[in-house]
Amino acid sequence: MTKETKYVPYTQSKSLEERIAYVKANPNKYKPHSEWLQQPVKQSDILTMKKEIEILKKYIDSIKQ
């Protein structure tokens, strides 16, 4: 017989102090919010989004006809 495990969100499984300590221990993984906001968007990401929008437009147009 196996014991069922219930999903517990990370924010509930760890205390605030433990989460803060983890973020401070991994500075390369987590940037400060203000620094993260200033990070430039990659040109390739923009081009990918444009292509996806064009595909979506064509699909919507085909449905309308």
Dump pLDDT digits (tens) for 3-55. Answer: 777 888 888 899 999 999 998 898 888 888 888 788 887 888 888 999 999 99
Q: Is 30 a domain residue?
A: yes
pTM exceeds 0.75: no
Q: Is 55 a domain residue?
A: yes
Question: How many domains does the chain contain in total?
Answer: 1
Indicate the pLDDT class of residue 59, thresholds 50, 70 and 90. Answer: very high
Instruction: For tokens 């595909």, name the residue.
Output: 55
| Alpha carbon of residue 39 to chain centroid | 15
CA angle 21, 22, 24 (to 5 degrees): 65
Please tell me the distance from the alpha carbon of residue 16 to that of residue 61, in angstroms, as a whole number.
49
The range of the structural domain enclosing residue 25 comes to 13-64
Q: Is 3 a domain residue?
A: no
Element (H, E) at 43: helix 43-64
Q: Is 2 a domain residue?
A: no
Q: Is 1 a domain residue?
A: no
